[in-house]
Structure 1
Amino acid sequence: MGAKDSMIARTRRSMAAQPRAIFSWYLWVCAALMALPGTCKGFDEGNIARVIVNKDFLSKFGLDTLSPAALADAKGWITAIATAGAVFGCLSVVLIVDRIGRLNALRVATVFYGAGVLGQALSNGNLSALYASRFIGGFGIGGTTVVSPMFLAEIAPQSVRGMIIMMYAACQQLGVVFGFWVMYGVHLHFPAAQQWWTATLFQFVPLGVWILGTFLVPESPRYFLLRGDYEKASINLVRLRRLPADHPLVQGELDSAAAQIAEERSVKTGSGYFAIWAEVFATASNRRRFILLFVCHVLGQWSGANAITQYSPTILGYFGITGDSASLVATGCYAVVKFLSAVATGAFLVDFVGRRRSLILGISLQLATLSYLAIYLGVTTGRSSASIDADGNALRASQGAIAAIYIHACGWSIGWFSMPYLLTSEVFPTRIRSHCVSFMMALHWAMNFGNSRSTSSFLVAGNRYGAFVFFAGICVVSLVFVFYCMPETAGRSLEGMDKLFAVPLHKIHTIAYPSDEDLKPEMKSSATGAASMESADDKGTARHRELA
Structure 2
Amino acid sequence: MSDFGLDNQTDHEYANTKGWIVSIATAGAVFGCFGCLPLNDRFGRRFTLRVATVVYIAGVLGQGLCGGNISGLYASRFISGIGIGATTVIPSVYISEISPKAIRGLLTLQYAACQQLGVVFGFFINYGVTKSYAGTETQWMLPTLLQLLPAALWGLGTFLCPESPRWLLYVGQREKALTTLSRLRHAPLEDPTLQAEIAGMDARILHESEATGSVGMWELAKETFVPVENRRRFFLIFMATLFSQWSGANAITQYSPTIFGYLGIDGDEAKFLATGIYAVVKFVSTLAFALFIVDFIGRRRSLMTGITLQLVTLIYVGGYLGGTSSMSPEHISDTPGVSRASTAAIVAIYFHAVAWSIGWFSIPYLVGSEIFPTKIRSFNMSIAMGFHWAFYFGCSRAMPSLLSATHKWGAFVFFGCICLTSLVYVFFAMPVSYIAICGERITDVCVGHNGKILRGIG
Output the TM-score relative to the length of structure 2: 0.88
Q: Give the superposition deviation at 1:344.
A: 1.8
Partner of 1:321: 265
Matched, 1:68 2:11: yes
Q: 5+ unaligned residues in a row in structure 1: which ranges?
A: 1-57, 513-517, 519-548
Q: Which residue of 1 aligns with 2:61?
A: 118
Which residue matches 2:391?
A: 447
In 1: Cα distance, 2:187 partner to 2:424 partner: 44
Contact in 2 for aligned 1:158/1:491 (Cα 8 Å): no
C-alpha distance in 2 between matches for 1:295 and 1:104: 33
Q: Which residue of 1 aligns with 2:283?
A: 339
Note the C-alpha offset of 1:255. Answer: 4.6
Whether 1:295 and 2:239 are equivalent positions in the alignment is yes
* Distance in 2, Cα, partners of 1:250 & 1:472: 51
1:413 positional shift: 2.1
Contact 1:80 1:452 (8 Å CA) reproduced: yes
Instruction: State the Cα RMSD in Å.
Output: 3.0
Is residue 328 of structure 2 the alignment partner of residue 411 of structure 1? no
Task: State the Cα distance separating 1:283 from its structure 2 match.
Answer: 6.3
The match for 1:207 among 147, 151, 154 is 151
Question: 1:451: how far off?
Answer: 0.2
Whole-angstrom CA distance in 2 between matches of 1:422 and 1:499: 12
Distance 1:267 1:454, change over 3 A: closer
CA contact (8 A) 1:167 1:346 kept: no
Match of 2:410 in 1: 466
| Contact map agreement 1:88 1:142 (CA 8 A) in 2 | yes
Report how far residue 62 of structure 1 moved: 0.4
Tell me, what secondary structure is at the counterpart of 1:322?
Answer: coil
Q: Name whichever of 383-392 and 419-428 sits farther off.
A: 419-428
Identify the residue that residue 3 of structure 1 maps to in structure 2.
none
Aligned ranges for residues 12-31 of structure 1 at < 5 Å?
none
Measured in 2, the distance between the counterparts of 1:487 and 1:220 equals 33
Partner of 2:98: 155
Contact 1:285 1:498 in 2 (8 A): no
Do 1:360 and 1:482's aligned partners in 2 also have CA atoms closer than 8 Å?
yes
Classify the secondary structure of the residue corresponding to 1:500.
strand
Shift of 1:256: 4.9
Checking the alignment, whether the CA contact within 8 Å between 1:159 and 1:492 is kept in structure 2 is: no
Q: Could you tell me which amino acid in structure 2 is paired with residue 342 of structure 1? A: T
The whole-number CA distance in structure 2 between the counterparts of 1:450 and 1:241 is 43
Q: Which amino acid aligns with 1:165?
A: T
429-438 vs 312-321, which deviates more? 429-438
Note if contact 1:94-1:434 (Cα within 8 Å) is conserved in structure 2: no
Q: Which residue is 2:164 aligned to?
A: 220
The amino acid that maps onto 1:134 is: R
1:82 aligns to what? 25
Give the Cα separation in 1 of the matches to 2:18 and 2:2.
Answer: 13
For 1:241-252, list aligned pairs within 5 A: 241-242=185-186
Residue 500 of structure 1, aligned match among 436, 440, 445: 445
Alignment partner of 1:139 is 2:82: yes
Matched position secondary structure for 2:163 = coil
How far did 1:91 drift?
1.3
1:318, CA displacement in angstroms?
Answer: 1.3
Distance 2:213 2:106 in 1: 36
Per-residue CA distance 1:14-55 (angstroms, 9 max, x = gap): xxxxxxxxxxxxxxxxxxxxxxxxxxxxxxxxxxxxxxxxxx
Work out which of the residue numbers 310, 331, 356 in structure 2 matches 1:387.
Answer: 331
Indicate the SS of the match to 1:334: helix
Take 1:431 and 1:221, find their aligned partners in 2: how far apart are those partners?
22
Cα deviation code 1:272-299 (max 9, x no counterpart): 4434444444567655543332222111
Query: CA contact under 8 A between 2:60 and 2:144: conserved in structure 1?
Result: yes
Name the SS of the counterpart of 1:492 in structure 2: strand
What per-residue deviation string (whole Å, max 9, x for no partner) do you get for residues 132-179 of structure 1? 000000011011111122223333444544332222221221121122
- Asked if 1 retains the 8 angstrom alpha-carbon contact of 2:45 and 2:163, the reply is yes
Residue equivalent to 1:102:
45
2:256 aligned with 1:312: yes
Distance in 2, matches of 1:131 and 1:365, equals 36
CA contact (8 A) 1:149 1:422 kept: no
- CA 1:338–1:62 in 2, change beyond 3 Å: closer, same or farther? same
- CA drift of 1:189 comes to 3.4
Separation in 1 of the partners of 2:247 and 2:408?
16
Per-residue deviation, residues 85-121 of structure 1 (Å, max 9, x unmatched)? 1111111111211111122211111111111011000
Please state how far the C-alpha of 1:351 moved relative to its aligned partner. 4.7
Which one of 88, 111, 114 corresponds to residue 168 of structure 1? 111
Q: Which moved more, 1:378-387 or 1:482-491?
A: 482-491
Matched, 1:188 2:107: no
Question: In the superposition, relative to structure 1, how do residues 239 and 507 fare at CA in structure 2: closer, same or farther (>3 Å)?
Answer: farther
Deviations along 1:447-497, one digit per CA (max 9) or x if unpaired, are 011101111111122222222122122223333444442444667368544
Counterparts of 2:398 and 2:260 in 1: how far apart (Å)? Answer: 18
Shift in CA distance, 459/431, structure 1 to aligned 2, threshold 3 Å: same
Corresponding position: 1:456 with 2:400: yes
Percent identity between matched residues is 51
Three-state SS of the structure 2 residue aligned to 1:99 is helix
Find the aligned partners of 1:246 and 1:276 in 2 and give their Cα distance.
40
Unpaired segments of 5 or more residues in structure 2? none
Deviation at 1:187, TM superposition (A): 2.2
Q: Please tell me whether the aligned partners of residues 241 and 387 of structure 2 are also in contact (alpha carbons under 8 angstroms).
A: yes
**Mapped partners of 1:464, 1:128: distance in 2:** 28
Pick closer, same or farther for the CA change 1:352–1:188 going to 2, 3 Å: same
C-alpha distance in structure 2 between counterparts of 1:509 and 1:288, whole Å:
17
- Give 1:228 shift: 4.5
Cα separation, 1, equivalents of 2:177 and 2:235 = 31
Distance, in Å, in 2 between the alignment partners of 1:87 and 1:289 is 22
**Aligned residues between the structures:** 453
Partners of 1:206 and 1:65 in 2: how far apart? 35
Comparing 347-356 with 464-473, which one deviates more in the overlay? 347-356
